[in-house]
Amino acid sequence: MRTTLFAFAVIVGASGQAGANEPPIQGPADAACREQARAQVFTAPNPDRLSLWDLGSQIWHTCMAAYHGTGPNPGRQEQRF
């Protein structure tokens, strides 16, 4: 019984750590693009030999840009001080 509870606690704890390095989901487009990046990160072409994290980020950014049409921050003006 204790072994089963310990194994369950380890599995639940490990699954909670999967998104620990990611910021909270900001909307349905963000959630959909994250799922797309997770699904494609091992099958997407990687000619620049990016790390899996960087390749997933690139897939996510491409998805978000396509969702917004003009880029991740449409209408934003460059602000330099």
The dihedrals phi and psi of 21, each to the nearest 5 degrees, come to: -90, 0
Residue 81 has which token pair?
A: 């001080």
* C-alpha–C-alpha distance, residues 40 and 52, integer Å: 10
In this predicted structure, the answer to whether residue 63 has a pLDDT above a threshold of 90 is yes
| pLDDT score recorded for residue 13 | 46
| pLDDT score recorded for residue 68 | 78
pLDDT, one tens digit per residue, over 12-46 is 444 455 556 888 999 999 999 999 999 999 999 99
Residue 18 has which token pair?
A: 């999967």
Asked if residue 41 lies in contact with residue 57, where contact means CB atoms within 8 angstroms, the answer is no
What predicted TM-score, i.e. pTM, was given to this entire model?
0.61
In this predicted structure, the answer to whether residue 54 has a pLDDT above a threshold of 90 is yes
Asked if residue 42 lies in contact with residue 31, where contact means CB atoms within 8 angstroms, the answer is no
| pLDDT score recorded for residue 42 | 96
